[in-house]
A and B are shown apart, each in its own frame.
Chain A
């Protein structure tokens, strides 16, 4: 059995979860991950999509030719591998999609983003899939920031009711082109999935404690007439942005009420400012983006 802490939860798992933060075997875990029988379909689903079904507090996730995952009550993930599939290939869907769904089942505020920290203060970088969140986070880690999350970004409150970002692992996940452009080849680990050109990359520093969240940056692309720069979002836009940048927002709306989400967002925005970071694409421009973000963040 393997023991991990992921997004603030203690996890005991029959499956090794590469990239997750290992911990000593402790008290009763928050979440169990085990192998077992998972049905092809739920008996009376109340909602469904191309690769999933939902019935009550259970969600069935089906990854073609790989595995089925049964995520229940925010506490349990059961995995059944398809023939010839490996646990290693399925692990990415445990730490990613399944965990994100489970966190929503627990009513957490979960953003789809990468997060880094410095001196106990963290920032989250949100944006479209493929926008460059992980690459920017990796570039910030390269100049001394500590790695916090690269995908599932759970925001919770500390004992002083200040928002904190909960780490989701020890490693970034970057495409080969990003690794080459950032000259992180010496940090490259295994592929996230067999034959894929996306790899685990170990940052120099990871956080030892969840940092306090100070700002959220929404990545945008600068093309005329949208100019480069960092602009603060007005409160209504910030609220709307956080709702939109939630991990799988459609599922979140199904599982958690709007009033609950708004309460979480309001509590977060008491301490956190939200900005649109508009920057040109291209690896050759990333150093300038890193400088802009660091200068802006330090002045907050």
Chain B
């Protein structure tokens, strides 16, 4: 998206990531005028949908924001299903494997869902987001979203690579814990 908007390869550290996550306290407080530090988790959850709607009306061209309001952590399955099984906010699922195998096709469909017209610029934007380029850039200048001391953020980009990194016991634990959702999304067990 940043490549498309800029018309050239975007700086991976200049994406305004501090204003990128959907659970931003600043955006929440700007929209509600309330101090999020004095609200319970249930109160914040109850206001989240109206905040999204308010933000969409006020700034339709922007995506979401940063320093987080507290939210429930449900694990991968819970998080995925909390989006797919809700009807308050329209959603569009893009499996990583699809994006990897047909980036222009599936990115175009995602943009169409978001109300953006397809254009020939998409192909170049996709090329500029090539994983090897992102990995090289992280080696050169670092990546602001990587935790200090952690392994490189842009690892391999290959579909299913996680199965090669984890040992058999770890793979089994993940597949057992998330079998239902993986099956629903079409992820075959390793």
Q: How far is the CA of A97 from the CA of B37 in the complex (A)?
A: 11
- Check: B29 CB closer than 8 A to any chain A CB: yes
- Check: A300 CB closer than 8 A to any chain B CB: no
If the complex has contacts A97-B33, A249-B30, are A51 and B47 also in contact, measured as CB distance less than 8 A? yes
Segment among A8-16, A72-80, A124-132, A232-240 that sits at the interface with chain B? A124-132
Among A49, A195, A249, contact of B54 (Cβ-Cβ < 8 Å): A49
Tell me which residues across on chain B come within 8 A of A128, comparing CB atoms. Answer: 18, 25-26, 66-67
Interface residues of B, dominant DSSP: helix
Contact A130 B67 (CB under 8 A): yes
Contact A52 B25 (CB under 8 A): no
Q: How far is the CA of A213 from the CA of B63 in the complex (A)?
A: 36
Across the interface, name the chain B residue whose C-beta is closest to A89: B38
Contact B148 A280 (CB under 8 A): yes
Tell me which residues across on chain A come within 8 A of B53, comparing CB atoms. Answer: 50
- Check: B32 CB closer than 8 A to any chain A CB: yes
If the complex has contacts A96-B35, A129-B36, are A223 and B26 also in contact, measured as CB distance less than 8 A? no
If the complex has contacts A128-B18, A130-B68, are A251 and B33 also in contact, measured as CB distance less than 8 A? yes
Among B13, B32, B68, contact of A50 (Cβ-Cβ < 8 Å): B32
Instruction: Fill in one digit per residue for B39-58: 1 if any A CB lies within 8 Å of its CB, else 0.
Output: 11001001100110110001
- Check: B107 CB closer than 8 A to any chain A CB: no
Contact A224 B141 (CB under 8 A): yes
Q: How far is the CA of A67 from the CA of B141 in the complex (A)?
A: 50
Contact B38 A196 (CB under 8 A): yes
- Check: B188 CB closer than 8 A to any chain A CB: no
Q: How far is the CA of A52 from the CA of B28 in the complex (A)?
A: 13
Q: How far is the CA of A128 from the CA of B19 in the complex (A)?
A: 10
Interface residues in A139-198 (C-beta closer than 8 Å to B)? 151, 173, 192-193, 195-196, 198
Q: A52-B33, A250-B30 are in contact. List 16 more A-B contacts (CB 8 A).
A: A49-B54, A50-B32, A50-B50, A64-B43, A92-B35, A93-B35, A97-B35, A128-B18, A128-B66, A129-B37, A129-B67, A223-B145, A223-B148, A224-B143, A249-B30, A250-B58
Give residues in B with beta carbon < 8 Å to A: 13, 18, 25-26, 29-40, 43, 46-47, 50-51, 53-54, 58, 66-68, 141-146, 148
